[in-house]
Amino acid sequence: MNQRRALVLRHVAFEDLGSFAAVLEAQGFTIAYREAGLDDLAAIDPLAPDLMIVLGGPIGVCEGDSYPFIADELRLLERRFAADLPTFGICLGAQLMAKALGAAVYPGSGKEIGWGPLLLTEAGRESCLAHLAPEQTEVLHWHGDTFDLPAGAIRLASTPRYPNQAFARGRSLGLQFHAEATQRGLERWFIGHACEIAGTDGIDVAGLRRDTARWAPRLAQQGTLCLDSWLRGAMAP
């Protein structure tokens, strides 16, 4: 298999590719991280990588005054979409994708943090997200912002609180939730997001750890199947 390049935009070190890294490597990708806030994102050629993945993080799309690199990320995504190149966004990454596609991104009605099932649309059940159907696994939610469905995009999944949990547009996929999170990796989240956990009613580390022990092993299996399925379609000639 020819070597392909995956460029990954990361916002905090502990929110990495998780279980997705092994899938990319198995499909012949080399993985290169670029660190928001440290690396010069404006210098990236958005058309060069075979695949671009934008990961999550604790900041908001609308905080561009505090985090100027957000404008660079939006420009990269706009160029990727204009060329219909394979692009995958997770949580903040999906919100950035929605913004780059012209949709509104804004604070939601409250934090959605913890494990819970997805409600798949008919299109979602016919997509790679069939591997994440509620009868298969629960997924990890960790966000407070949300977005409108971009024009031309197809809604794939919802939750009772937030209708836009996943969307597809061309060769791009945005997931508001986390399908890449692993049990071991989430121990770092519990430290890195300690203040957010402490400030959110109804959740605590003990409960998150308990639910993680129950669902993370299943998600590790189903999440990798989801990504593998999406890649085989998105990367087709």
| Domain parsing of the chain, residue ranges | 4-234
- How does DSSP assign 136-193, residue by residue? T--EEEEEEEEEPPPTT-EEEEE-SS-S-SEEEETTEEEESSBSS--HHHHHHHHHHT
Pairwise CA distance, residues 86 & 70, whole Å:
20
Cα 8 from Cα 31, distance rounded (Å): 7
pLDDT at residue number 177: 98
How confident is the model over 45-51, as a mean pLDDT?
98
- Mean residue pLDDT across the chain: 97
Number of H helices, E strands in the chain: 7, 10
Q: Which tens digit of pLDDT belongs to each residue from 110-134?
A: 999 999 999 999 999 999 999 999 9
For every residue of 193-231, DSSP letters joined together read THHHHHTSTT--HHHHHHHHHHHHHHHHHHHHHHHHHHH
Residue 233 has pLDDT above 90, yes or no: yes
Tell me what pLDDT residue 237 has: 84
Q: What topology does CATH give the domain 4-234? A: Rossmann fold (3.40.50)
Can you give the pLDDT at residue 212?
98
If you search the block for the tokens 């959110």, which residue do you land on? 200
Alpha carbon separation from 204 to 195, 197, 198 (Å, rounded): 11, 6, 7
Does position 215 have pLDDT exceeding 80, yes or no?
yes
Q: Is the pLDDT of residue 41 over 60?
A: yes
Q: What is the number of other CB atoms lying within 10 angstroms of the CB of residue 91?
A: 25
Reported as a single tens digit per residue, the pLDDT across 80-108 is 999 999 999 999 999 999 999 999 999 99
Q: Distance between the two ends of the chain, CA-based, in angstroms?
A: 14
Average pLDDT over residues 188-197: 98
